[in-house]
């Protein structure tokens, strides 16, 4: 379980966790360094983002890191940089991500405007990714060419979800209220600080990106930021003469300063300009991935997100929790007891509470008979084999009220499982 990293933190022939060989430095920022790394088992290259915990805490960046991990776990799509797994030591967090070799889209635009058909292809991929995010209640809030990467085949990949927001972040008025983003790409309603619709704000940024791809420069430019904001407020821009009639019409609808009349993704996708040579493969691939990518694998291999929650040095669980601790809908614990003993314990709890039980070799479902606030309480426990003698058990609420589930866990489940829960050498309880 412990991290194995030879010859220092990074460089040379260092091996992380016995799984990744860390290579050359690819880039660095204020809080992170990115290295080329190779998965020793598969031979596949990845980008390994390394973040120092101390720097994150000192810089008040924990929320941003937490949000980025949570979002990237949710959004699996061909046009979004994929987070493969997260590892941790006591001092660092390691993100194994897609190695996107083609650089930033910004680098292409910096050389001059793109042909309309090329710009359209990138824009179609961008909209496919953004639409997918919005369908999952995720708003990027910092879309710009610098955050759009290209793989070796020229496919666009959206990156950098550090400023993204969930639909759960909406205030009572149903709007987001945090002003963020890059000034030249930010929507007028975001600057206004009166609350904004995350989806509509992302569409404005997409409009600015489309303009930049077609024009080779920004629609709203001024050395004075206040003057630039005034132009953004008014939607004060002009399309160059080489814009086609259709692209001009679409850009104008995207850069509508009134979010209520701004074009939606659904209507954008129906425009004749957007539909030209559009391939539905990316969208279909995303749907296929969503169905098969995560669901079928969990009983075969143990996800790194589970492993790192087992001991104090590897405890990153706060990074993945968007809800308050008292509102958690799952708990995890490790045990050295056989699966049959775990199942027997769960059956005892079910019997004392008059719950119905359905079970298999690695899964147990407990179904309450009394109707609660949100119907009958339903709980599912899944058992993962880390090694033949070391198991991880994940218990989740499958139905019913979260408060009633938490009360059941604290009053019935935890006491009943106390004798079989594994604790670390430091006597730290392993139950999450």
Q: Which of 98, 117, 131, 142 is catalytic?
A: 142
Q: How far apart are the two ends of the chain, measured CA to CA in Å?
A: 17
List the beta bridge partners of residue 269: none
Measure the CA–CA gap between 239 and 249, rounded to whole angstroms: 10
Measure the CA–CA gap between 53 and 240, rounded to whole angstroms: 47
Kind and range of the H or E run holding 55: helix 53-58
What is the rounded radius of gyration, in angstroms, for the C-alpha atoms of the chain? Answer: 24
Please state the separation of Cα 143 from the chain's center in Å. 15
The residue assigned the tokens 């030591």 is 89
* Residue 431 Cα distances to 34, 63, 385, 403, 410, angstroms: 33, 23, 16, 18, 11
> DSSP letters along 257-306, please?
S-TTTSPPHHHHHTSHHHHTT--SHHHHHHHHHHHHTTTTTTTTS--HHH
276 annotated as a binding-site residue: no
Measure the CA–CA gap between 335 and 342, rounded to whole angstroms: 9
In the numeric block, which tokens belong to residue 75?
A: 């959004």
The residue assigned the tokens 């005034």 is 230
Our answer to whether residue 142 is catalytic in this structure is yes
Please state the separation of Cα 57 from the chain's center in Å. 20
- Contact of 160 with 145, CB cutoff 8 Å: no
Provide the annotated binding site for ATP.
Answer: 53
Question: Which residue ranges make up the annotated binding site?
Answer: 53
Catalytic positions, please? 142
């Amino acid at each position: 379980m412990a991290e194995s990293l030879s010859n220092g933190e990074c460089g040379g022939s260092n091996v992380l966790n016995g799984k990744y060989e860390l290579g050359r430095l690819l880039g660095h920022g204020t809080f992170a360094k990115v290295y080329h790394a190779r998965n020793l088992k598969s031979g596949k290259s990845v980008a390994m983002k390394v973040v120092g915990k101390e720097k994150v805490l000192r810089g008040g960046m924990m929320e941003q890191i937490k949000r980025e991990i949570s979002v990237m776990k949710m959004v699996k799509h061909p046009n979004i940089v994929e987070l493969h797994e997260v590892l941790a030591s006591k001092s660092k967090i390691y993100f194994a991500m897609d190695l996107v070799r083609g650089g930033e889209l910004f680098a292409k635009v910096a050389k001059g405007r793109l042909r309309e058909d090329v710009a359209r292809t990138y824009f179609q991929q961008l909209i496919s990714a953004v639409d997918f995010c919005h369908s999952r209640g995720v708003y990027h809030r910092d879309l710009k060419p610098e955050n759009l990467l290209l793989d070796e085949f020229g496919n666009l990949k959206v990156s950098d979800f550090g400023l993204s927001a969930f639909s759960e972040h909406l205030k009572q008025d149903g709007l987001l209220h945090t002003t963020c983003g890059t000034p030249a790409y930010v929507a007028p309603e975001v600057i206004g600080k009166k609350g904004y619709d995350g989806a509509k704000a992302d569409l404005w940024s997409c409009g600015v990106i489309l303009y930049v791809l077609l024009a080779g420069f920004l629609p709203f430019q001024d050395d004075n930021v206040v003057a630039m904001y005034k132009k953004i407020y008014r939607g004060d821009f002009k399309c160059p003469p080489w814009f086609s009639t259709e692209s001009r019409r679409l850009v104008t609808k995207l850069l509508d300063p009134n979010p209520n009349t701004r074009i939606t993704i659904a209507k954008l996708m129906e425009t004749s300009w957007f539909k030209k040579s559009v391939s539905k493969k990316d969208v279909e691939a995303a749907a296929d991935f969503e169905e098969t990518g995560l669901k079928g694998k969990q009983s075969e291999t143990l996800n790194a997100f589970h492993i790192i929650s087992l001991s104090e040095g590897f405890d990153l669980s706060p990074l993945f929790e968007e809800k308050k601790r008292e509102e958690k809908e799952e708990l995890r614990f490790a045990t050295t007891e056989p699966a049959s003993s775990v199942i027997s314990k769960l059956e005892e709890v079910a019997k004392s509470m008059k719950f119905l039980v359905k079970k298999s070799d690695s899964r147990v479902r407990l179904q309450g008979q009394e109707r609660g606030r949100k119907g009958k309480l339903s709980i599912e426990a899944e058992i993962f084999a880390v090694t033949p003698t070391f198991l991880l058990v994940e218990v989740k609420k499958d139905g019913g009220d979260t408060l009633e589930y938490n009360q059941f866990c604290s009053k019935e489940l935890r006491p009943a499982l106390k004798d079989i829960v594994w604790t670390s050498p430091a006597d730290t309880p392993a139950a999450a």
